[in-house]
Chains A and B, each alone.
Chain A
Amino acid sequence: MISVKNLSHTYSNNKKLAVNNISFDVAKGETFGFLGPSGAGKSTTQGILTGLLKQQSGEVSVAGYDTMKVENERFNKIGVSFEQSNVYGKLTAKENLEFYAKLFDVPTRDAIELIHLIGLEGKENDRAETFSKGMKHRLTFARSMINNPELWFLDEPTTGLDPTIAATIKDIIREKTIGGTTAFLTTHNMYIADDLCDRVAFIIDGKIVLVDTPKNLKLQYGQKLVDIEYINDGNVVKETLKTIDEQDRLRVGEIVNKYEIQTMHTKEATLEEIFIQVTGRRLV
């Protein structure tokens, strides 16, 4: 669904490459996470893929269209949810969605249905300027689904949302991708990437340093750990031991046999820990 070969991009008057010779493919129906800290080149890449930025070099194909050629009909297959909400404040939630629906040449979803889906029941006829930041963000997210996109660009889809709403948004994304929609998820939130993505790419300083499935990454870079809390001479002692280390495994058995166990949890490495391990940088 997406094919990127040797893509580079620089902003005017700045010789530094914002995106530096990156290549990757996203298969139809796949949820692809594009992960990296702020300024890594995530938004620039998404901008080129969505046509908001002019492609300067490389070969890019999106939903079967060459992005070097200006063909607006490709947007009938594409949905874009922006990180910064961008809806008409003077229009109501319903009017916002109905207006955008008319701009597409394909069957579109019902505005009211989408408003209910994102939990804005009762707000259909309220102007967007009266909405909170989170509500506007949800409306922006809903708008990206108006044309039933085959390819869905999601830029930080849960940023600024409370955990309940974020969970609802994640469920909607999961449901859509199970239904066959390809998703290109740009985020610096490793938990949502881990939760939703089939594959992730780590991008830093404009370069992709790694592309793989979260599971493979955890197997390759992660170490299974066990956190144990036990009582020793009346004191609570905490130890973290590696399950793949022979000495540590014996130590786990010793603690279990000898002491009163208070808590014991197995723990696998998070994507964030792997990102730090691979890139030496934090996701901020």
Chain B
Amino acid sequence: MKLLSSYIKEMKIAARGFYFYIEVGFAVILLLILLVAVNESSVSKNYEFLYYDMSDELFDVYYSSSIEDGFVEVSDNTSFEAKALSFEVTNEETGAVTSYDFDKTTYDVKTYMMYDRDTGEFNKYLYITDTEEAMIHLSYAEKKVGATTRFSDDYDVEYDYFIQGFETQRLRDLMYVVHNESQDVLMETVNSIEVRKLGEVEILNNRENLVPVMIVFMGSLMGFFIVMAYIFLDKAEGVIRAFAVTPSSVWKYLLSKIMVITTTVLVSSSIIAIPVMGLQPNYLLFYLLLIVTTFAFAALGLLVASYFDSISKSFGVLYGTMIALMIPAFSYFIPSFDPVWLRFFPTYPMLQGFKEIIMVNTDVGYVLAYSGVFLVSGLILFLLANIRFKKTLTV
């Protein structure tokens, strides 16, 4: 009953303050951006730089069948301006290091458009340079994969890949596997594999793909920030001391704050998720993960707030934590950037968890396991915050 009274009181205060409206207003703005400014289908330009170390005649032969079959289409040349760069390239097989020193250069490259052999959908642009140096310069400047293709004396196709260094081992292994066997052996192997579809593969469109990121940052970051703002507001008014001399416990006061934050996050996240995702997600899991993660991050906010008197004094920790929590978003948008250390950031499993939930084939076990982890972490943080608040009450 006391907890309920505290919650109702906190909701009244939140409704009369501006943080609640900031969160809800921000959610509405994000929804509008998703619906108006983000296309459902991918319009991102996937491309790579290639250099063919062969005569023009051989090159024409190499592409002729693909062009005839319609899988490759010749387009107008594209102009790229690469800035002045100095860097070294290490050959992973021999360990030899080659230094490059490029001036700012504009390259005019042949442009081919490549289509998927199965679906016929546009796949990527192939930019073919006249020299290997141009390919290396452009690959490095554009942070894209580059490759040199040549024929051996036995007319086997050979490839030299130029990668950036941050690619996963899986991608590197794939490059080796694809080219270290002859095409015939590979085709034979691929054809002998029986593929059974377990269900329809669901690929998130651009708009849907952004939903987990927005939910995570509206929930965790805003929850973390706003609970601190509420605490500092109360510290300025001195009402925590008044609460401490009532029969109600400090933990009820703290939990009522978390309940208000959770309510706000549920509203703001629903504003974003429901119009974009419709009935597709498993909403039971969605709200379970949302509640436990909001609880954990709000508890973290309470703990941090217990160490400071005012929001201005906490800015360093506040922004440092928020920026650190955002880092896993890089991995989310650039799957090739997936170092192991990134998985220790709490927002990493949150992003993957929400992505799992909005997919049709949700990995329920993964979501439940991480929900449990966040619940336990939140409880520990909450207990620590409660101890800190009791200790830091002053006369």
Contacts and interface: CB of A to CB of B under 8 A. Distances in A.
Contacts of B248: 72, 103
Contacts of B242: 80, 82, 86-87, 100, 140, 143
Contacts of B1: 102
A103 B238 contact: no
Given A47-B394, A86-B237, A99 B5 contact: yes
Contacts of B249: 72
A47 B241 CA distance: 10
A24 interface: no
Contacts of B16: 90, 127
B376 to A, nearest CB: 25
Interface in A83-131: 84-91, 95, 99-100, 102-105, 127
A78 interface: yes
A44 interface: yes
A99 B5 CA distance: 7
A102 B3 CA distance: 10
Contacts of A74: 247
A244 interface: no
Contacts of B335: none
B247 A90 contact: no
Contacts of A76: 247
B246 A104 contact: yes
Interface in B1-35: 1-2, 5-6, 9, 12-13, 16-17
A50 B245 CA distance: 7
Interface in B205-250: 237-239, 241-249
B393 interface: yes
A284 interface: no
A89 B237 contact: yes
B171 interface: no
B208 to A, nearest CB: 38
B395 interface: yes
Interface string B361-395: 00000000000000000000000000000010111
A105 B16 CA distance: 28
Contacts of B12: 90-91, 95
A54 interface: yes
B238 A86 contact: yes
A47 B395 contact: yes
A52 B244 contact: yes
Interface residues of B, number: 25
A76 to B, nearest CB: 5
A74 B6 CA distance: 20
A108 B123 CA distance: 73
A95 B12 CA distance: 10
A145 to B, nearest CB: 13
A75 B395 contact: no
Which of B13, B245, B394 counts the most chain A CB atoms within 10 A?
B245
Nearest to B2: A103
Interface in A51-83: 51-54, 72-76, 78, 80, 82
Contacts of B393: 52-53
B246 A103 contact: yes
Contacts of A86: 237-239, 241-242
A182 interface: no
Contacts of A43: 395
Contact of A52 (B13, B239, B394): B394
A103 B237 contact: no
Interface in A136-194: 140, 143
A103 B5 contact: yes
Nearest to B13: A90
Contact of B395 (A46, A78, A143): A46
Contacts of B13: 88, 90-91
A241 B366 CA distance: 92
Nearest to A105: B247
22 contacts: A47-B394, A47-B395, A52-B244, A54-B391, A74-B247, A78-B245, A80-B245, A84-B238, A86-B238, A86-B239, A86-B242, A88-B13, A90-B16, A90-B17, A91-B9, A91-B12, A91-B13, A95-B12, A100-B242, A103-B6, A103-B247, A104-B246
Given A43-B395, A47-B395, A75-B246, 17 more contacts: A47-B394, A50-B245, A53-B393, A53-B395, A75-B247, A78-B245, A80-B242, A82-B238, A86-B237, A86-B238, A89-B237, A90-B17, A102-B2, A103-B246, A103-B248, A104-B247, A127-B16
Q: Nearest 8 CB-CB pairs, A to B?
A: A86-B238, A47-B395, A102-B5, A103-B246, A103-B248, A90-B16, A80-B245, A90-B13
Interface of B: 1-2, 5-6, 9, 12-13, 16-17, 237-239, 241-249, 391, 393-395
